[in-house]
Amino acid sequence: MYINGNWIENTALSHFAVTNPANGEVIGEALECQEAEVEQAIQAAQQAFKTWSKTTAYQRSKCLYRAYELMLEQKDALAELMTLEQGKPLKAALNEVIYGADFLLWYAEEAKRVYGETIPSARSDQRFWVNHKPVGVVAAITPWNYPISMIARKIAPAVAAGCTVVLKPAESTPLCAIAMFKIFEQAGFPAGVVNLVTASNPAPIGTIFCAHPAVRKLTFTGSTAVGKHLATLAAPHLKRVSMELGGHAPAIVFEDADPVHAAKGLSLVKFLNTGQACISPNRIFVHRSIADPFLAEFSKRVDAMPVGDGMNPSVRIGPLINQAAIDKVDTQVKDAISKGATLLNGGEAVILEGCEKGHFYRPTLLSNVTPEMKIYREETFGPVAAVIIFDTEDEVLEMANDTHYGLAAYLYTNNLSRAMRVFEALEFGIIGINDINPTSAAAPFGGMQESGLGREGAKEGIFEYLETKLGGVAI
């Protein structure tokens, strides 16, 4: 834990073990914080806010820029730690570190662009002006699937805006959080500006975050169920909340698209992070006329994806985070097969030599998926591609929007009018058009409906941490 500029080495506190999901080996431990430490961290943030909120954007930018440089200098070590702790293949871990560092750079720049405005008044003797002030102490809760970039995506805009932060990372990946806070320490953030608390049981900390009078804002990335729970706890205190929650992304391949190109793109994005991503395509809709070449190419690519320990450079599919994740995936696959889906690849958990305690599932391709199947309705968060055959644009739009989630969607078409039409009709916050990576520090990321509230990244991201203040003056 890192509180008020100090690493807490309190031997009276117990520790919890952190394991490698590829082989079950214990790779480290983190402190089990109690209520007292959460309170201390919030108080430290409250105290630091008094001065940090008055620093110039140039001062805040300098710390962020230094943190960005340090992240890049240490990118290989950070990636290796992430692979050991979270399981994703080393190359993917490195990409994530660079993606995370991009947020530090973007908000180092964006800190200086929090502009106000003047507004003409209907009264000749009146002037209006608007400016922006940091909201105050921010409590942040981050997930294990992107254990470094999600921290950067929250902390960078918060501190750029002049807020101070208390972060609780996921219990599966506290070591990545500790590594990030070492970088913040080296980058010269003053004591109390960023604080870290770790625990194996998140619920008591969430409860304190949502009710503490000094916390003005909660920013959360995780499951829709936990997000709703935290929003409910925060509501009586009228705390501002940002929520990045689950997804159930449709990907639509129209008859005018190149099926081979689409299969290449979608097989890449589907199996990124072993499918453990909220923007992972969970329902792949393919037009009947091109289903055969699409499935043949997709299946060939799935066959060529080695499963194993992410430290092995040839591995494409790392472990799932735990046994519960394997069970969920397997239940969805078995349910689909029992209801008539066709299994083209995979379809089972696998035990690998030397990694007997790892949580591996073979990359799986199902076709002929229908609305009666669990996988059609529920987020999978695993390496399963579910293909649904469709006939008309109207039909597929209805099916794609038939979910309470609204995070990402993808479409492949070579018809410009259709691309525009479908973009407008899809009720999702992020839409990739012939593109599988519509994410960047410069672009607003976030969901509609039960996928969340607010946006991260882009110019929108910093405004999540700012209040709008109006001045009206009679002259």
Which residues are near ligand ADP by CB under 6 A?
A: 141-143, 170-171, 202-203, 206, 222-223, 226, 229-230
**What is the amino acid identity at position 394?**
D
Name the minimum Å distance from CB 153 to ligand ADP: 14
Name the minimum Å distance from CB 108 to ligand ADP: 26
Half-sphere exposure of residue 233: CA atoms within 13 angstroms, side-chain side: 20
Half-sphere exposure of residue 162: CA atoms within 13 angstroms, side-chain side: 20
* Cβ within 8 Å of residue 397, ≥6 positions away: 422, 425, 426
Name the minimum Å distance from CB 197 to ligand ADP: 11
Nearer to ligand ADP among residue 162 and residue 318 (C-beta): 318
Q: Which secondary structure element, helix H or strand E, spans residue 470, and what is its range?
A: strand 466-474
- The residue number whose beta carbon is nearest to ligand ADP equals 206
Nearer to ligand ADP among residue 225 and residue 351 (C-beta): 225
| β-strands 215-221, 137-141 pairing | parallel
Q: How far is CA 327 from CA 274, 321, 334, 361, 379, in A?
A: 15, 11, 10, 10, 13
| Interior/surface letters 90-104, b for 16+ CB within 10 angstroms, e for the rest | bebbbbbbebbbbbb
Nearer to ligand ADP among residue 78 and residue 139 (C-beta): 139
Nearer to ligand ADP among residue 206 and residue 406 (C-beta): 206
Name the minimum Å distance from CB 34 to ligand ADP: 15
**What is the amino acid identity at position 416?**
L
Question: What are the start-end ranges of the H helices in 259-384?
Answer: 259-271, 291-303, 323-338, 374-377
Spatial distance between the Cα atoms of 368 and 255, rounded to a whole number of angstroms: 17
Name the minimum Å distance from CB 171 to ligand ADP: 5
Name the minimum Å distance from CB 255 to ligand ADP: 36
| 278 in catalytic set | yes
- Decide: 151 and 167 in contact? Cβ < 8 Å: yes
Nearer to ligand ADP among residue 171 and residue 460 (C-beta): 171
| β-strands 240-244, 452-453 pairing | antiparallel
| 96 in catalytic set | no
Nearer to ligand ADP among residue 298 and residue 361 (C-beta): 361
Farthest CA pair distance, the chain: 80
Out of 37, 244, 450, 456, which one is annotated catalytic? 244
Residue with tokens 């995979």: 346
For 119, the token pair is 């507004």
Residue 201: Cβ within 10 Å count: 10
Out of 63, 163, 210, 278, which one is annotated catalytic? 278
Which residues are tagged catalytic? 244, 278
